[in-house]
Structure 1
Amino acid sequence: MSENLVIAIGRQCGSSGKVIGEKVAAALGIKCYDKELLALAAKNSGLCEELFQSHDEKPTNSFLYSLVMDTYNVGLTSSGYMDMPINHKIFLAQFDTIKKLAEEESCVIVGRCADYALADDPNLVSVFITADDKDKIQSLKELYQIDDAKAKEVMVKTDKKRSSYYNYYSNKKWGDVRSYDLCINRSPIGVDGAVDMILKYIEVKGKGKDQQQ
């Protein structure tokens, strides 16, 4: 097991989770992977990047989850799961890429079940970012230049998609406090406050590990 630190960030739509992840990465001098992970997974698997874009964090109803992970657990490589349905190819290619990244470097990974992929990694810090609905809607209005009604629609649909994806592929529940090391509502403390909390948690966790050794 490598000693690399990986911060996995789950986030509600409009919560500024990506921005928080980027700021945490900048403060630590490491990379933040969001959409960049799709390009890496495409390169590592030999699959077309457009497929990753079109299936990104989207739920599926085909084939049972247990079949997917049983297939993965027998040790199939990217070339070995080419006969699987495309949505499972995409997920497992990302799963492999996340594990490979954790072995190679410290980083921040936004979404894509990274906390589940690295669940056995003692150096993982899993975080979930939320915010009050009014603040999430305001963020989406500014980001996409849309009105309140459209922003709320985007928020609800995106969170439903992310929740279904996470719950299908992991053995945990999206947004459940028991699934994460740290859950933060960024509304009362702001983006920078959330960043500071994550950095402080990492510092305290590191001290705790040192005391146990």
Structure 2
Amino acid sequence: MAKTSTIITIGREYGSAGREIGYKVADELGIKLYDKEMLNRAAKESGICQELFETHDEKPTNSFLYSLVMDTYSFGYSSGSYTDMPINHKVFLAQFDAIKKIAEEGPCILVGRCADYALENYDNVLSIFVHANLDARIRRIARLYDLTDAKAKEKIQKIDKQRSSYYNYYSNKKWSAADSYDVCLDSSVLGIDGTAEAILKLVEIKEKDEPKRL
């Protein structure tokens, strides 16, 4: 039984432990966390092969030629209005639809993939962005993937750039900017457990104040 009626979206800098924090919050609240599961769901419901969701996952593809070539593998979207779109847009819209369907099923945590933008008209959403200072992120990624600090830094910069480009390309907001989210939390200051606790407290405050805002 879920202990909340809130849907939490988590945007995150790479290496800030956003997903790990999300799992801690999900366990505490008795709700499901969706990360790659969003891709599986979108692939299943749209009929577009899953490999394409993996290829485009939080990476914008602006190349028209690439889209044209990849389009031959998409198997077409069942809805006629989508058929003339480049494949990256089809993939994004299929994911957008899947996010909304997941949200309609009840409280959950959605990690990345513009979920906050997809659900911006929903009242029961709390959008969080988890960030951390670069040194802390380098240490974490170097430890997790057995990389040198230089390689870890390179990986962080590359993935952050992809996530940022994806978010800025598909949403009307700016990735990592404070005014794009309800709350931004620094996991290098609060720690992983502390950030999870802060999110739980924020959910409690939001739900307590909800009747006053109606």
Contact 1:4 1:102 in 2 (8 A): no
Offset from partner CA, 1:42-72 (integer Å, 9 cap, x none)? 0010111111001100023257xxxxxxxxx
Secondary structure in structure 1 of the residue aligned to 2:82: coil
In the alignment, structure 1 residue 60 sits paired with structure 2 residue 61: yes
Equivalent in the alignment of 2:19: 18
Contact 1:45 1:79 in 2 (8 A): no
Instruction: Name the amino acid aligned to 1:149.
Output: A
1:78 Cα deviation after fit = 4.7
- Alpha-carbon separation, structure 2, partners of 1:212 and 1:158: 38
- Alpha-carbon separation, structure 2, partners of 1:79 and 1:203: 43
Contact 1:41 1:94 in 2 (8 A): yes
Say if 1:24 and 1:109 are closer, same or farther in 2 by CA, change over 3 A: same
Equivalent in the alignment of 1:201: 202
Offset from partner CA, 1:100-147 (integer Å, 9 cap, x none)? 111112110000000000000010100000011111011111221111
- Alpha-carbon separation, structure 2, partners of 1:201 and 1:26: 16
Contact 2:47 2:78 in 1 (8 A): no
Structure 2 residues not aligned, in runs of 5+? 65-76
* Between 80-89 and 175-184, the greater mean CA deviation after superposition: 80-89
Equivalent in the alignment of 2:128: 127
Which runs of structure 2 are paired with 1:165-204 in the superposition (5 Å)?
A: 165-204=166-205
Contact 1:4 1:103 in 2 (8 A): no
Equivalent in the alignment of 1:83: 84
- Alpha-carbon separation, structure 1, partners of 2:16 and 2:134: 9
Percent identity among equivalent residues? 57
In the alignment, structure 1 residue 136 sits paired with structure 2 residue 159: no
- Alpha-carbon separation, structure 1, partners of 2:60 and 2:81: 23
Offset from partner CA, 1:11-38 (integer Å, 9 cap, x none)? 0000000101111111110100111111
Say if 1:96 and 1:178 are closer, same or farther in 2 by CA, change over 3 A: same
1:176 Cα deviation after fit = 0.5
Contact 2:6 2:203 in 1 (8 A): no
- Alpha-carbon separation, structure 2, partners of 1:47 and 1:162: 22
Equivalent in the alignment of 1:94: 95
Instruction: Name the amino acid aligned to 2:11.
Output: G
Secondary structure in structure 2 of the residue aligned to 1:129: strand
Provide the TM-score with structure 2 as the length reference.
0.89
Contact 1:131 1:186 in 2 (8 A): yes
Say if 1:4 and 1:207 are closer, same or farther in 2 by CA, change over 3 A: closer
Provide the TM-score with structure 1 as the length reference.
0.89
Instruction: Name the amino acid aligned to 2:150.
Output: A
Structure 1 residues not aligned, in runs of 5+? 64-75
Say if 1:14 and 1:6 are closer, same or farther in 2 by CA, change over 3 A: same
- Alpha-carbon separation, structure 2, partners of 1:155 and 1:41: 27
Equivalent in the alignment of 1:210: 211
Task: Report how many residues are paired.
Answer: 199
Instruction: Name the amino acid aligned to 1:168.
Output: Y
